[in-house]
Structure 1
Amino acid sequence: MKILKTLMLCGMLLLHLNADAQTDTTNVPSTDSMKTKEVHTLTAADTTIRYRINGAYLGSIWGDLKYTVSRPAHWTGKDFTRLGIVLGTAGGLMAVDYEVKQFFGRNHTNFWNSVTGQVEPFGNAYSPYLVGGMYLAGVIAKDRKLEHISLMTAKSLLISTLIYTFTKSVVRRGRPTYYDDPFVYNAPFSMDKKHTSFPSGHMLTVTSVATALAEAYGEEHPWVPWVTYSIAIMTGTTRLYQERHWSSDVWLGASLGYFVTKGIYKHHRALERKKALKALADY
Structure 2
Amino acid sequence: MKILLKLMLCGMLLLQIKANAQTTDTTNLHYTDSTRSTETRTLTAADTTIRYRINGAYLGSIWSDLKYTVSRPAHWQGKDFVRLGIVLGAAGGLMGVDYEVKQFFGRNHTNFWNSVTGQVEPFGNAYSPYLVGGMYLAGVIAKDRKLEHTSLMTAKSLLLSTLIYTFAKSVVRRGRPTYYDDPFVYNAPFSMDKYHTSFPSGHMLTVTSVATALAEAYGDEHPWVPWVTYSIAIMTGTTRLYQERHWSSDVWLGASLGYFVTKGIFKRQKDLERKKALKAHMAP
TM-score (ref. length: structure 2): 0.86
Give CA-to-partner distance per residue, 1:216-275, whole Å, 9 cap, x none: 000000000000000000000000000000000000000000000000000000000010
* 2:238 equivalent in structure 1: 237
> Which string of whole-angstrom CA distances, capped at 9 and with x for unpartnered residues, describes residues 173-227 of structure 1?
0000000000000000000110000000000000000000000000000000000
1:63 alignment partner, SS class:
helix
Residue aligning to 1:263: 264
Q: Which amino acid in structure 1 is aligned with residue 211 of structure 2?
A: A
- Which residue is 1:204 aligned to? 205
TM value normalised by structure 1: 0.86
The match for 1:41 is 42
Instruction: Report the Cα distance in structure 1 between the residues aligned to 2:240 and 2:192, rounded to whole angstroms.
Output: 22
Q: Which residue of 2 aligns with 1:132?
A: 133
Partner of 2:24: none
Q: How many residues align?
A: 248
In the alignment, structure 1 segments of 5+ residues that lack a partner are 1-35
Letter in 1 for 2:171: V
Identity %: 91
- Distance in 2 between the 1:276 and 1:145 partners? 18
CA shift digits 1:45-91 (9 cap, x unpaired)? 10000000000000000111111000000001000000000000000
Inter-partner Cα distance in structure 2 for 1:196 and 1:132:
28
Deviation at 1:40, TM superposition (A): 2.6
Matching residue's letter, 1:163: I
AA at the equivalent of 1:166:
F
Give 1:42 deviation, angstroms. Answer: 1.0
Please say if 1:55 is aligned against 2:53: no
Q: How well do the aligned residues superpose, as a CA RMSD in angstroms? A: 1.1
Paired position in structure 2 for 1:21: none
Q: Secondary structure of 1:175's match?
A: coil
Report the equivalent of 1:157: 158
**2:21 corresponding residue in structure 1:** none
Task: Decide which structure has the larger Cα Rg and report it.
Answer: 1
Structure 2 alignment gaps of length 5 or more:
1-36
In structure 1, what is the equivalent of residue 76 of structure 2? 75
Deviating 4+ runs (over 4 angstroms): none
Question: Partner of 1:117 in structure 2?
Answer: 118
